[in-house]
């Protein structure tokens, strides 16, 4: 008897879909449906297959657990030694977030280059003020650091607006659709001075923590805008704040921070040239994300029960999907 733990908000239709997946595989299963906030250590300890981001401490390298399917693209809390047993397969939800997060990043980009964040500030102070010249994506150079599913979706959006798109990846290869030039991560210092817009969608790994140093911000155009919809630890708050206050970049927008929630006394809240959203680009705010997670979870459950290869496996050496 396989014990399947679904730690995800589900309605009756979603529960039936999981049950039908098991029935089709003709494998006896016992299902437990709960949520990440209500799941118990006992439920986690007994599970052989988990869907959902259960608290990592509850897993405690359980030898019963064969597969955990996350509903997030980021998997770093589950890669810490001692969380998963050696045999446990870790799967992320890369592919479910492309549309929603790329559109959020695109909206933030347009807000910055059209200075809408400054006009929002003026409105809050009942100030009728012309904020001066704006820029356009047309004929601009957009640098996308982290060319996964989200980065590629964003590339198609800005390319449609007439931008020149440069993608940054760890490994080389042919240029994907929507990308004009592909460079390796090791080459980023050469290409940074060309960018009018920098979008960061990096995961959190040992190689990406504090990736955007003071020196890298200094290398950017002072008219450039920086958007981070990847991981908050890619840039230190103090470094970003200094880059804005010193005029090394024109503006920035972040959906992620090193410390979340961002403390109320953080000086980032007071920086007029910075737009902040509270890690809402993803989550389940757009229906496409939930559908993508459900599709992936049911596919991997079917694969697990029938002995087919599991998809969306996380590479522990990189933090990316294999």
And the tokens for 131?
């904020």
- Pick the catalytic residue from 187, 260, 272, 308: 260
- Pick the catalytic residue from 231, 248, 286, 321: 231
Helix pair angle (98-113, 149-160), 10° resolution: 50
Integer Cα distance of 92 and 280 in angstroms? 18
Integer Cα distance of 163 and 139 in angstroms? 5
And the tokens for 149?
């599913």
Active site residue 216: no
Cβ contacts of residue 4 below 8 Å, gap of 6+?
18, 22, 29, 30, 31, 32, 47, 48, 49, 50, 51, 301
Active site residue 156: no
Active site residue 321: no
Q: How many residues does the chain have?
A: 322
Active site residues: 231, 260, 279
């Amino acid at each position: 008897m396989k014990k399947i733990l679904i730690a995800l908000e589900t309605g009756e239709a979603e529960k039936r879909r999981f049950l039908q997946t098991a029935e089709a595989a003709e494998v006896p299963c016992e299902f437990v449906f709960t949520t990440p906030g209500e799941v118990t250590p006992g439920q986690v300890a007994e599970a052989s297959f988990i869907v959902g981001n259960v608290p990592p401490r509850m897993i405690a390298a359980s030898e019963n657990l064969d597969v955990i399917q996350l509903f997030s693209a980021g998997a770093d809390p589950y890669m810490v030694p001692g969380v998963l047993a050696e045999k446990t397969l870790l799967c992320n939800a890369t592919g479910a977030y492309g549309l929603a997060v790329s559109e959020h990043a695109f909206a933030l980009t347009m807000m910055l280059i059209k200075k809408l964040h400054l006009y929002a500030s003026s409105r809050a102070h009942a100030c009728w003020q012309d904020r001066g010249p704006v820029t356009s994506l047309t004929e601009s150079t957009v640098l996308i650091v982290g060319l996964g599913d989200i980065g590629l979706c964003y590339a198609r959006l800005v390319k449609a607006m007439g931008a020149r798109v440069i993608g940054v990846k760890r490994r080389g290869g042919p240029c994907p659709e929507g990308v004009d030039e592909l460079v390796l991560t090791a080459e980023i210092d050469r290409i940074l001075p060309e960018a009018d817009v920098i979008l960061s969608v990096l995961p959190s790994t040992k190689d990406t923590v504090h990736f955007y140093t003071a020196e890298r911000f200094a290398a950017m155009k002072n008219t450039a805008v920086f958007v981070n919809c990847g991981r908050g630890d890619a840039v230190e708050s103090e470094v970003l704040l200094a880059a804005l206050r010193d005029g090394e970049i024109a503006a920035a927008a972040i959906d992620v921070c090193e410390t979340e929630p961002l403390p109320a006394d953080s000086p980032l809240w007071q920086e007029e040239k910075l737009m902040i959203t509270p890690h809402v680009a993803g989550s389940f705010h757009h229906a496409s994300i939930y559908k993508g997670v459900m599709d992936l979870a049911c596919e991997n459950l079917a694969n697990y029960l029938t002995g087919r290869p599991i998809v969306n496996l996380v590479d522990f050496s990189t933090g990316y999907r294999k």
